[in-house]
Structure 1
Amino acid sequence: MNAVVIAVLLMLILSLLRVNVVIALALGALAGGLAGGLGLGGTVEAFTDGLGGNATVAISYALLGAFAAALTKTGLPDAMVEGAVKLLGKEGDSRRKTLSKVLIILVILIVSCFSQNVVPVHIAFIPVLIPPLLKVFNELQIDRRLLACVMTFGLTAPYILLPVGFGQIFHGMLRDNMKEAGLTVQLSDVPLAMLIPVGGMMLGLLISLFVYRKPRVYEDRDITDVEKSAYTKKSLLLAVLAILVSLIVQLYLSQSLGVEGMIFGALAGLLVLFATGMMKRDEADALITSGMNMMAFIGFVMLVAAGFANVLTKTGDIEQLVKASSQFIGNNQSVAAILMLLVGLLVTMGIGSSFATIPIITTIFVPLCMHLGFSPLATIAIIGSAAAVGDAGSPASDSTLGPTSGLNMDGQHHHIWGTCVPTFVFYNVPLVLFGWLAAIIL
């Protein structure tokens, strides 16, 4: 059996059995490397060499966690909670609670969508926005699986559809890699081709709103060991200033200089709080350590996921999987489309990145689509959907790790069953079905 299939299936099965995802990734990588002929030494070497692949992301999350913890000293989180609680009205006012619930979900959806295109900060908003609102979610008895679905939709669908922000990178990679593989398409063709697949994700979001509409009870727990701070207008303004400075630095570095800006964005925010006296010198170490501890899980997963992906790449079985699937297709466009989407699902679930999947599958899928007579739009829909499918439900994707990091800050949200399984069902399944539909229609 193909090493990629073995590694990904083992990782998913262990994760579903509630084995820690870090251990599941490591064991999956070991099984995949051995099955792919790397041997024990080669597998360990490939895994170790790949660990640094996501080091920047891991450090970014740690510093964002530190920044979020430091913001507690300004009183901003408490002010956010008190402001949101006022929306609830009197106890027993079910209509007010319903309206408040809808408003909060809508705001989180909008912020999540904006984080990909309008203000492309990706998941950087989560550790700042979500943890302070956990008690409000508890008061409203919002099912956190729904919130995970809402955030993951906002973290994936906009960049798949819209050619701005992270979408510009995704669409540009599609166009450039397809051109290298022998098919020239226009950047303006990509949104048209991806409209139907993203429509499937929108349907999945609506279904998740219905499925998880029932109240769910959670305990009120403190999310950090940091004592609450009284807030004033000055402290709130300084908190907002720190957030704005962090955002500006991040956008300048990523948009103007083309480098990763999350690390120094978080660092800039911390420096503002330190310089203005909101974070005292004698408590800085405890605050920063506390914040880093909150985000340690997601950092470790991203590091191990990079090692997992490197092992799969070194085996060479990703290319073999793509080529082998073409042998079963014949001249049947329907079978071809569904097989290519399923191969993309396996690859992306293992690697955890739709962006990294594009170069892997394009070199084989483009000639195959041209041979089978798919139109350029249909080819874009197949490759774009095959690259994106799996991103939402992968245990190693930051589109799932991000929401989990915020929702599990008090230890009441499981990464696999609370985030990955719901997002897989409501986004990956529709993306496969509607991606196939797009390939047949276009």
Structure 2
Amino acid sequence: MNAVLIAVVIMVGLSLARVHVVLSLIIGAVAGGLVAGLTVADTLTAFQDGLKNGAQIALSYAILGAFAMAIAHSGAPKLLADAMTVRLNQASATRSVKWLLFAVVCVMAIFSQNLIPIHIAFIPLIIPPLLLLFNRLQVDRRLLACLMTFGLVNTYMFIPYGFGDIFLNQIILKNINDAGMDTTGASIMQIMIIPALGMLIGLLLAVFVSYRKPRVYQNIEVAKAADALMTSDKPSHYRAWVALVAIIAAFLVHLYTDSLLMGSIAGFAIFMASGVVKWREADSVFNDGIKMMAMIGFIMISAQGFAEVMKATGQIDALVVGAMEVFGGNQAVAAFVMLIIGLVVTLGIGSSFSTVPILAAIYVPLCMALGFSMPATIALVATAGVLGDAGSPASDSTLGPTMGLNMDGQHDHIKDSVLPTFIHYNIPLIIFGWIAAMVL
């Protein structure tokens, strides 16, 4: 049996069995190397050689996490949440208030990926203070989970800024280039608009069909914010303005240098220079931010090592030839199978950012052999990587919403976050990802 296939099956199987993803990647890589005839030493050498390919991405992620924590530390998100809560609580529980809340939650999730790149750190600051208001409006929290997950996932898979820059430019295009396909001149937004449209349709179904009916929850007082993200200083308008200046500076530096790393550093430096993040607190804030993103970084680095071992086995070509025989050159069937495999792999790993290096090493040669165009290949690899991020029990895109919505113990992670997002986003992504592969 093919060593690459065995390695992937072992890795996914262990991940689904709740073995830690990093350990699953290492065990799967070693198993694949040994089946291919490599020694343990050669396998580990290949794995270590691959680690450096993910170092830059992981570092960007870690520094961005530090910047996100500095924004949270400034108290600006809490100030916004408190002001919004007061105004909405004073308003009558009308339909317009409910739609305004939906828009705020979705926009905050979108901005958390690019304009204000704090990832899921906004959720424990914004959502818990609003739970009682959601209860008064009888909003189904499954809908709120879908709104947040849409903003968290659709944004990075479509807009090449912030986390989207990491995913689309530094991971998707880089790994496809490394796998042997030239992506020069690729317009990533034009390519990904079709899969992104699929997620939008899934969101509209959740809003207007699946979860439009009222749902009753008990009114239980909850903490207004996660303790880990609270600043020791009282939020102020000065601190909020500094946060705004830091965000704008990070945005401009990123545009000028084309480096998310430099943009994050510039933003963090403004927080320190202004005194919002005091010198004695800098290490703590910086370390907390890195901790928030560290696990994803480790998984991304390990995934690059796994992909390098798969290349070292020399059996990717054999897998491609075998797949060609099975598909009989049928692009439609091949595209569908590749998307399903991407769904299974990402469900196991829990991170689309970490899935792409594994999939690209296998899919790109297969797409080239089957005659897929460069845009179609990009759409296939990116969509296969994203599939399962929404709907994976181990994904930030489901863990984050649960973290905020379950502050009062009335939101089940699997039933109320994982299954709703899996149904409303993964099914449309498979359909529209397949369409993109066929028409591009």
Q: Tell me the TM-score normalized by structure 1.
A: 0.72
Deviations 1:377-419 (A, max 9, x none): x7466423321232213569xxx96646855777979999998
Q: 1:334 to 1:31 in 2, by over 3 A?
A: same
TM alignment of 1:65-214, pairs within 5 A = 65-90=65-90, 93=93, 95=95, 98-108=98-108, 110-111=110-111, 115=114, 124-126=117-119, 129-136=122-129, 138-139=131-132, 140=134, 142-143=141-142, 145-146=145-146, 147-158=148-159, 196-209=194-207, 211=210
Q: 1:405 to 1:248 in 2, by over 3 A?
A: farther
Say yes or no: does 1:253 pair with 2:246. no
Q: 1:385 to 1:284 in 2, by over 3 A?
A: closer
Task: Indicate conservation of the 8 Å contact 2:112/2:120, yes or no.
Answer: no
**Which residue identity is paired with 2:228?**
T
Say yes or no: does 1:238 pair with 2:242. yes
Deviations 1:305-324 (A, max 9, x none): 22222222222333332221
Task: Indicate conservation of the 8 Å contact 2:172/2:382, yes or no.
Answer: no
Q: 1:91 to 1:18 in 2, by over 3 A?
A: farther
Q: Tell me the TM-score normalized by structure 2.
A: 0.73
Q: 1:150 to 1:215 in 2, by over 3 A?
A: farther
> What percent of counterpart residues are identical?
32
- 2:226 is paired with a residue of what secondary structure? coil
Task: Indicate conservation of the 8 Å contact 1:242/1:270, yes or no.
Answer: yes
Deviation at 1:363, TM superposition (A): 4.5
- 1:43 is paired with a residue of what secondary structure? helix
Task: Indicate conservation of the 8 Å contact 2:320/2:365, yes or no.
Answer: no
Q: Bigger CA drift: 75-84 or 410-419?
A: 410-419
Q: Bigger CA drift: 87-96 or 41-50?
A: 87-96
Deviation at 1:82, TM superposition (A): 0.8
Q: CA–CA distance in 1 between the matches of 2:145 and 2:124?
A: 15
**Which residue identity is paired with 1:278?**
V
**Which residue identity is paired with 2:313?**
T
Aligned to 1:43: 43
Q: Bigger CA drift: 419-428 or 314-323?
A: 419-428
Aligned to 2:59: 59
Aligned to 2:319: 321
Say yes or no: does 1:33 pair with 2:33. yes
Task: Indicate conservation of the 8 Å contact 1:112/1:155, yes or no.
Answer: no
Provide structure 2 residue ranges, at least 5 long, that are not aligned to the other structure.
136-140
Provide structure 1 residue ranges, at least 5 long, that are not aligned to the other structure.
255-259, 370-377
Aligned to 1:257: none
Deviation at 1:326, TM superposition (A): 0.8
Task: Indicate conservation of the 8 Å contact 1:365/1:383, yes or no.
Answer: yes
- 1:389 is paired with a residue of what secondary structure? helix
Q: CA–CA distance in 1 between the matches of 2:41 and 2:264?
A: 38
Q: 1:41 to 1:223 in 2, by over 3 A?
A: farther
**Which residue identity is paired with 1:252?**
Y
Task: Indicate conservation of the 8 Å contact 2:11/2:27, yes or no.
Answer: yes
Deviations 1:38-65 (A, max 9, x none): 3322222222222232222322333333
Deviations 1:169-194 (A, max 9, x none): 9998899999978xx99968x87776
Count of paired positions: 412
